[in-house]
Amino acid sequence: MIPTPRHKEKTPCRGCGRAMHWVHNVITGKKGPVDPTATVYVMLDEASTDHPDAAYGMTAKAFMENVETITMEGGRVYTREQIVGFFVSHFQTCPKANQFSGGNKR
Which residues of this chain interact with Zn ion, rule CB under 5 A?
Answer: 13, 15-16, 94
Shortest reach from residue 92's CB to Zn ion, in Å: 10
DSSP symbols for 5-68 = TTTT--EE-TTT--EEEEEE-TTT--EEEEESSS--EEEEEEE-SS-TTSEEEEEHHHHHHH--
φ, ψ at 64 (rounded to 5°) = -65, -30
Select 13 or 34, whichever has its Cβ closest to Zn ion.
Answer: 13
d(C-alpha 84, C-alpha 50), whole Å: 32
Select 60 or 94, whichever has its Cβ closest to Zn ion.
Answer: 94
Shortest reach from residue 103's CB to Zn ion, in Å: 16
Select 64 or 97, whichever has its Cβ closest to Zn ion.
Answer: 97
